[in-house]
Amino acid sequence: MTSLPVDAIKALADQHPKPPNVVFQYGTAGFRTLGHALDPVMFRVGILAALRSKRLDGKTIGVMVTASHNPEPDNGVKLVDPRGEMLEAAWEAHATNLANAPTTDALIVALEALVQNLRIDLSKPARVVYARDTRPSGPALIASLEDGFKAMGAEARNAGVTTTPVLHYLVKAINTKGTKDSYGDDSEEGYLQKLSTAFKKLVAGKPAIPPLVIDCANGVGAILAEKLAKHLGDTIPLILQNTAIDTLGALNNACGADYVKTSQKLPPSLSSVLKPGQRACSLDGDADRLIYYYLDDRGQFHMLDGDKIAALVAAFIVDLTKSAGLDDQIQVGIVQTAYANGGSTKYLSERLPVKCVPTGVKHLHHAAEHYDIGVYFEANGHGTVLFSPDTLEKLSTYQPSTPAQSTALNHLINLTNVINQTVGDALSDMLLVEVVLAHRSYTGVEWDSLYVDLPNRLVKVVVADRNLFKTEDAERRLVSPPGLQAKLDELVRRYEGGRAFVRPSGTEDVVRVYAEAAVRAQADELAFRVAGLVYDEVGGDPAKRPS
């Protein structure tokens, strides 16, 4: 192919027309909206993925169809770049542009401009791998995506129904296959083998691990968790809950990581299952977020969120680098967002370099790449640990001088395999947490006591136009609507230990408000007062005014 296959594109594009008066936007995690609205977007994303692959010399690009933690009627799509990381930011604008071309002719014009401006060599091959979660709207959307691949003559590999992190893993495994950087066998089985083998080595010789309850959010994580449980055997007994992937309306409904994090309580379905002191965790709808929790002896709920995971894991890795004699050569750093609890930021920044970036895995991932070992977690449980290429090289060539150094070095090497370094991965993170708990002999109680969380509250505000909200300083301050930040500052000053910020969501049509304060009632009051200020400033549906 030396020019765009215009006829093929036209013929198929006419089957996926864009409705007028709808504006699509490639946001925090790709396109996300009601599933039935996404048909034209899928077709165009299929074309774009093929062009991205051609631009990158035929490297395989990933496409994941999911709306993750969002309600079941939503769906979405995001592109994954060759190393398994999120799509390069500049291409997000191209995706938005193509998705909004009003007619087939306008789409062709936009595609021709893209090919010319980016000097895409159309004679290169186009290779893609794609997957979807369990949402009912998935199969139809996949068919539309496949039309996009077909129009471009792309070599497309269907990875079926699997988790977002598996898709990211596959992309990296395919692109590194047969090279010295091979990431593992390019199959779901290869992924499960890699994680479970490393986990078994890491906990070998440790006391038996007590059973762990997993809330699978009634999503695709249930399928993978079941396969993982088989690979792990007796090493760690997994008790799978909320596995109803075929029950309409069950996905993320009163369960899953987002439910637990936002409502700060146990999924009701677990109340008769979880025993005091027992560890449990929740995945989200595509298994890229993880939140732990336990009930204390009085039955009180304690949440161990992404911040607590970061603290647990970072301290463990630092100790291993010290024990291996590598602490002067390997620097561990942390990346958080404005949602990180003030308690965690204080705890971590007293020990390690900490950077704050805007919401979205892509921002955290890139910032973490600047450290030798970068630990990044969003408070919502989305995160992973990155080992830089230099660090991986050091670990593979370092000569330990004592048996203790050698053991620590082996642990570090095994950690690089149990951790999915392409993206946040609930199941991989779960194994990582279990490794640390086993090595530290911690229950949830000791882990929880690393630092005390400041009471906090997250509130959604439905406004007429969330695009009116613009932020700066890693989303910690508003620059628009003008004057609103000054009002927030004035309000926050009245609360002891008060902190609050407002930002537009990139995945839902809402504005998010986060507030924390020294005591619970004050954090709640601050959040709702800020939400009220936001609402009054820009207006919206009176029935939806926060109260």
Catalytic positions:
68
DSSP state of 402: S
Give the residue with the Cβ less far from ligand G16, 135 or 512.
512
Instruction: Give the footprint of ligand G16 on residues 508-527 (CB under 6 A).
Output: 508, 512
- Picking from 404, 410, 407, 409, the residue whose alpha carbon sits closest to that of residue 198 is 410
Query: Which residue intervals of 63-209 are DSSP H helices?
Result: 89-99, 104-117, 138-152, 164-176, 188-203
Work out how close the CB of 202 gets to ligand G16 at its nearest, in angstroms, rounded to a whole number: 26
Give the residue with the Cβ less far from ligand G16, 18 or 308.
308
Given 235, 253, 336, 359, the residue binding ligand G16 (CB under 6 A):
359
Contact 459, 528 (CB under 8 A): yes
- Rule CB under 6 A: say whether 100 interacts with ligand G16: no
- Cα separation, 481 vs 161, in Å, equals 42
Q: By three-state DSSP, how is residue 542 classified?
A: helix
Q: Which stretch binds ligand G16 (CB under 6 A): 52-60, 227-235, 401-409, 501-509?
A: 501-509
Give the residue with the Cβ less far from ligand G16, 44 or 382.
382
- Rule CB under 6 A: say whether 92 interacts with ligand G16: no
CB atoms closer than 10 angstroms to residue 415:
22
- Cα separation, 330 vs 307, in Å, equals 22
- Cα separation, 312 vs 438, in Å, equals 12
Work out how close the CB of 360 gets to ligand G16 at its nearest, in angstroms, rounded to a whole number: 4
x/- mask, ligand G16, residues 13-52, rule CB under 6 A, reads ---------------xx-----------------------
- Rule CB under 6 A: say whether 475 interacts with ligand G16: no
- Rule CB under 6 A: say whether 261 interacts with ligand G16: no
Work out how close the CB of 148 gets to ligand G16 at its nearest, in angstroms, rounded to a whole number: 22
The letter for the amino acid at 443 is T
Instruction: Give the footprint of ligand G16 on residues 373-432 (CB under 6 A).
Output: 378, 380, 382
Give the residue with the Cβ less far from ligand G16, 32 or 44.
32
- Cα separation, 494 vs 429, in Å, equals 39
Q: Which stretch binds ligand G16 (CB under 6 A): 97-105, 179-187, 432-440, 504-512?
A: 504-512
Work out how close the CB of 68 gets to ligand G16 at its nearest, in angstroms, rounded to a whole number: 3
> End-to-end distance of the chain based on CA atoms, in angstroms?
59
Work out how close the CB of 284 gets to ligand G16 at its nearest, in angstroms, rounded to a whole number: 5
Place of tokens 């009002």: 487
Give the residue with the Cβ less far from ligand G16, 44 or 289.
289
Give the residue with the Cβ less far from ligand G16, 270 or 361.
361
Name residues whose C-beta falls within 8 Å of residue 126's C-beta, 6 or more positions apart in sequence.
49, 50, 51, 53, 54, 58, 149, 152, 153, 154, 155
Q: By three-state DSSP, how is residue 136 classified?
A: coil
Give the residue with the Cβ less far from ligand G16, 288 or 305.
288
Angstrom CA distances, 116 to 69, 153, 154, 287, 322, stand at: 37, 19, 19, 38, 52
x/- mask, ligand G16, residues 307-346, rule CB under 6 A, reads ----------------------------------------
Binding site for ligand G16 (CB under 6 A): 28-29, 68-69, 284, 288-289, 359-361, 378, 380, 382, 505-508, 512
